[in-house]
Structure 1
Amino acid sequence: MLESSGGRLDLTLTAALTDVAVAGRQVRALTFNGTLPGPTLRIRPSDRIALAFRSELNAPTNLHTHGLVVSPEGNSDNVFVLIEPGAGFDYAYELGDDHPPGVFWYHPHHHGNSAEQLFDATLLASPGERE
């Protein structure tokens, strides 16, 4: 768990294919910081989040949130951001003073490939890793 302090949360999320246990079986999945699901982020109304996103994937990707009431433009929750393999992007989110509490979700959302990136890790693997 990563928690904001003093109105800020500064973090790095690295997207990579990792071998993880799911329902007692080893699978190769897209992970954030090596875990599935990725780290839990504890934030509060009026927080600012500086998220350094790094991709170790072999396909373009990005990051999208569900439930955060933040801008969909620029370097905030913009689903049209394109992060090339091996590259990074610095996201910045600003929560309003009246942001509602809740349980929210983040995931890859490369336009046209979000389902594939969530459910078919072979598409993110290099040709030598594909079965």
Structure 2
Amino acid sequence: MQRYGLDYVEIFAPVLRYNTLRLVLFLVASNGWIIRQMDVKTAFLNGYLDEDTEIYMVQPPNFAVPGMEHLVCKLLKAIYGLKQAPRCWYLTLHEFLVSISFERCIKEVCLYIKRVGDSMVLLTVYVDDITI
């Protein structure tokens, strides 16, 4: 069981506003753009924990080596059930998108834009659902 202030501090992860998605869909439809949607499978398992965060868990049943059941596992990445898992996933995805030259919108932090010459790519994020 996690305790606020001891096991986690920040858990907020932003999500796309419905009106922003409607605006993006309007732009796609009115300009004849191509749109794609994707779902990131097991997204929360891809989020990295902060370096200063130490979380330990009891070994799952049938995982421990006989005689070593008393040992625990130190988590390096988030797992389902962690209160900060959605935030870790969002921050990991954000770092990746910035590394490939996407810019985050100032007013809508789940809208990313990448300009290539005269073209533009709009990418929206709602937890693990991405629209490009």
Q: Which has the larger radius of gyration?
A: 2
TM-score, normalization: structure 2?
0.20
TM-score, normalization: structure 1?
0.20
- More helix, by proportion: 2
Structure with more contact order per residue of length (Cα contacts < 8 Å, sep ≥ 6): 2
- More strand, by proportion: 1
